[in-house]
C-alpha cells in the first residue's frame, strides 16, 4: 500500500552494527506496528504503538527498540545487529475508529545481517 512507506527496502549490514528501519504513513492512522517475517514462521509482532506516547512490546521485542517520532512515523532500531535478525520486516498501521481495525502493511524491508 503506497500510503505506508518503508525505508530502506533492502539493507545488508554486519554483525554488531546499529541499524534503523523507518516507516511513514499518510493514512492518518493512530496505531502502528512492526513485524518480522521468517520463512515458515509467518509474521511475528515486535512492537506496537497506539499513539505517540504509547509504546508496547510484542511477541519478540528482545534485541529491538522503537521510536514514535510523530503520529505518522515509527522507527525500528537494532542496537547491535546479529545474523538471526536477518528477516523481512513489515510496518503496519490501523485506525482505532475503523470497523474491525484492519491493518495496512508497507512493502517491507529485507534486512540481511552478515
Partner 1 sequence: AQSVTQPDIHITVSEGASLELRCNYSYGATPYLFWYVQSPGQGLQLLLKYFSGDTLVQGIKGFEAEFKRSQSSFNLRKPSVHWSDAAEYFCAVDFTGGGNKLTFGTGTQLKVEL
| Chain residues in the site for partner 1 (CB under 8 A) | 1, 4, 31, 35, 40-45, 48, 50, 58, 90, 92, 94, 96, 100-108
Minimum Å gap between C-beta 60 and partner 1 is: 12
To partner 1, the closest distance from the beta carbon of 13 in angstroms equals 21
Smallest distance, partner 1 to C-beta of residue 108, A? 6
Full DSSP string of 16-85: T--EEEEEEE-S--SEEEEEEEETTTEEEEEEEEEETTEEEE-TT-TT-EEEEEETTEEEEEESS--GGG
Our CA angle for 53, 76, 20, nearest 5°, is 130
Q: 80 or 105: whose CB is closer to partner 1? A: 105
Q: Which lies closer to partner 1 via its Cβ, residue 5 or residue 17? A: 5
Amino acid at each position: 500500500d503506497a500510503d505506508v512507506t518503508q525505508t530502506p527496502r533492502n539493507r545488508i549490514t554486519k554483525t554488531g552494527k546499529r541499524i534503523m528501519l523507518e516507516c511513514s504513513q499518510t493514512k492518518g492512522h493512530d496505531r502502528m506496528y512492526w513485524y518480522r517475517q521468517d520463512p515458515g514462521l509467518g509474521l511475528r509482532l515486535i512492537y506496537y504503538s497506539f499513539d505517540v506516547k504509547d509504546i508496547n512490546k510484542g511477541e519478540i521485542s528482545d534485541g529491538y527498540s522503537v521510536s514514535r517520532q510523530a503520529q505518522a512515523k515509527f522507527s525500528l532500531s537494532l542496537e547491535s545487529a546479529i545474523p538471526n535478525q536477518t528477516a523481512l520486516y513489515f510496518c503496519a498501521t490501523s485506525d482505532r475508529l475503523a470497523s474491525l481495525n484492519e491493518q495496512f502493511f508497507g512493502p517491507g524491508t529485507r534486512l540481511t545481517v552478515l
